[in-house]
Every structure is written in C-alpha cells, then in structure tokens.
Amino acid sequence: MQTISSIKKCKNQEKLVMITAYDALFAALFNNKVDMILVGDSLNVSHNRAIDTLSASMDMMIYHTKAVCKGAPETFVVTDIPFGAYFDEKSALKKCARVYQETNSNAVKIEGGRERAHIVKALTQNSIAVVGHIGLMPQFARSEGGFKIKGKNEDGIQKLIDDARAIEDAGAFCIVLEGVKEDAGKAISEAVDVPIIGIGAGRYTDGQVLVWSDMLGFFEDFQPKFVKRYLNGADLVRDAVKQYAKEVKEGLFPSSEFIY
Ligand code: KIV
C-alpha cells in the first residue's frame, strides 16, 4: 500500500494511478490495482444525478468514504471535501478532522490555489494530509460561469504554477491538476517537487486520475474529451438485465440448477 512518502518518491520515477470509487463493491475491485482511490464529490453528479458537485455534503462524503475504505483496505484512500466545508480554517479543520475520526481515509482533497493555501496550511500543520486540486475546479465552475479549460496562455500557465507552488509550500503532498492545456500540465509538473496527478491535463503529468463510472462506461450523460472508455459497462449491464427479464417472462429462469 502506498504511503505519503512513497507517493512523493514516485515523482520523476513512476507514474501514479488514481481512480475514483464511491462504494465498497467497486472499491474492492480496484483494491491493490491502483496507487490511490479518490472518493470524489463527482459522486453527486454520476450517482446522484445532480447538475454539479456543489450539493454534495460532508455526511455524504463520510458515508461513501467508509464504504470505500471497507472495500479497499489495502489502498491509499483520499476523501474529497465538499463545497462550503472549507471557507475558513476553523471549519476546514472541524470537517476534515471528522474524516480522520470517522473513517480510515488517508488524506483529504480540497480545491483551490494561492487563495486557499492558508486552509491547506492549517490542515497540514494539524497532521491532516492534503491533496490539492487546481486548474479547472468543479466546485467553482458555477461562479465562473461554466467548466472552463485553464492555462491557455503564458499568464494562465504562470498563475497555475504560482497556485501549485503556494499549496506545495503549504504542505500538500500531491496535487490534482484538472482541465488544462498539455503544455500547462508539463510546465506545472516541472515547477514543483510534489507529484501532479492530471485529469484532462495531457501526457506529461506525474500520474492520472479518472472517474470510475466514466472510464468503465457506466456514466453516459456526457463524455469529456479526456475520458478513455476501457469498458462499455452500461451496455453490458443493459444486455444482462434484458436477458434476465426475457428469461423470467419466458419461464426459463429459474431452471432446475437454481432451485433448492
Ligand atoms: O470529484 C472528483 O471525482 C474529482 C476528480 C475529477 C479529480 O475531483
């Protein structure tokens, strides 16, 4: 199982693999297959059909983290802290301490660059391990008027480098970088000593993260350009359920092998 120090040592040595999980069933399938599992607040969109992540709550994140930790006891787990839970240091500490007290999660993730470095510092100084998240930050997309790609020009790249350095200095041990041009992904990865985990950030980051229901083809509402589908999960499930329904209707299930 990875630790904070082994994750940091992967920088420039080995690509890091992160995947999201929301329940014990799928977490068990990912256990020991990836470096980190993220209990992302994306669950509010893919599993709860909300329009964005903003209505995810601390109680939801705790519930799903408990399930994921049960399913993947040998994998490093990171819990996303939802919108509104870290507006100031005091409330961030209270909410994030809950994650450590009530679950076996190894770290928390919070969105924000320079403007939230003081929150990252308050957490890391109190022994709460933090994964940063910069670039396209879904929790702030509503106030920014949509999901906007970042790092499109030199100024944009410099701003992201400043963000990454600020949260690295504040103690984040790794940083998720979302929705940026590939040259921005490269420049930011080269600018800091902690691993940069990209999502829609090109080929040159220190690792990748994907939302499990996107990459396994269960979430069909939309498919961002950066998502590669490794399985057509939804098709497989639909076909199986269709077959089950057909067999029940036709009296083929249960056959003699499935009765007491
Ligand atoms: O909530 C989430 O799943 C995330 C990933 C997209 C990185 O933050």
User: How does pLDDT run across 116-163, given as a tens digit for each residue?
Assistant: 999 999 999 999 999 999 999 999 999 999 999 999 999 999 999 999
List the catalytic residue out of 178, 182, 190, 220: 178
Which residues share a beta bridge with 108? 79, 130
Phi then psi for residue 80, to 5 deg, are: -70, 135
Of 18, 38, 45, the residue nearest 142 (C-alpha): 45
pLDDT exceeds cutoff 90 at 33? yes
Ligand 1 atom, smallest distance to 197 CA: 7
Q: How many residues does the chain have?
A: 260
Per-domain residue ranges of the chain? 4-229, 232-260
**Which residue has its alpha carbon closest to ligand 1 atom 3?**
40
Ligand 1 atom, smallest distance to 176 CA: 7
Q: What's the whole-number mean pLDDT along residues 33-47?
A: 97
Residue 118 in tokens: 């003081």
**What pLDDT does residue 214 have?**
97
Residue 158 in tokens: 């410099």
> pLDDT tens for residues 155-192?
999 999 999 999 999 999 999 999 999 999 999 999 99
Share the mean pLDDT of the chain. 97
Residue 186 in tokens: 């490269």
pLDDT exceeds cutoff 90 at 222? no
**Which residue has its alpha carbon closest to ligand 1 atom 2?**
40
Phi then psi for residue 35, to 5 deg, are: -80, -35
Instruction: Find where tokens 């909300």 sit.
Output: 50
Q: What's the whole-number mean pLDDT along residues 26-50?
A: 96
Of 154, 131, 136, 147, the residue nearest 16 (C-alpha): 131
Assessment of whether the complete model's pTM goes beyond 0.75:
yes
Buried b (16+ CB within 10 A) or exposed e, 30-51: bbeebbbbbbbbbbbbbeeeee
Ramachandran area for residue 11 (φ above 0: left; ψ -120 to 50: alpha; else beta): beta
Which residues sit with their C-beta closer than 6 Å to ligand 1? 20, 38, 40-42, 80, 176, 178, 199, 209, 211
Torsion of CA 142, 123, 56, 146, to 10 degrees: 20
- State how far the Cα of 92 lies from the Cα of 28, in Å rounded to an integer: 29
Reported as a pLDDT band with limits 50, 70 and 90, residue 53 is: very high
Cβ neighbours of residue 258 under 8 Å, at least 6 residues apart? none
Of 36, 42, 110, 101, the residue nearest 68 (C-alpha): 36
**What pLDDT does residue 106 have?**
98
For strands 174-178 and 107-111, give the pairing: unpaired
- 199 with 224: CB under 8 angstroms? no
Greater model confidence, 186 or 47: 186
**What pLDDT does residue 86 have?**
97
Ligand 1 atom, smallest distance to 42 CA: 1
Question: What is the 73 CA–ligand 1 centroid distance (Å)?
Answer: 21
CATH classification (class only), 4-229? alpha beta
Query: Alpha carbon 23 to chain centroid distance?
Result: 13
- 171 with 124: CB under 8 angstroms? yes
Residue 17 in tokens: 């693999």
**Which residue has its alpha carbon closest to ligand 1 atom 8?**
40
Of 105, 227, 120, 226, the residue nearest 164 (C-alpha): 120
- State how far the Cα of 66 lies from the Cα of 103, in Å rounded to an integer: 5
Question: What is the 42 CA–ligand 1 centroid distance (Å)?
Answer: 6
Which of 16, 19, 20 should be mutated for ligand 1, with most atoms under 8 A from CB? 20
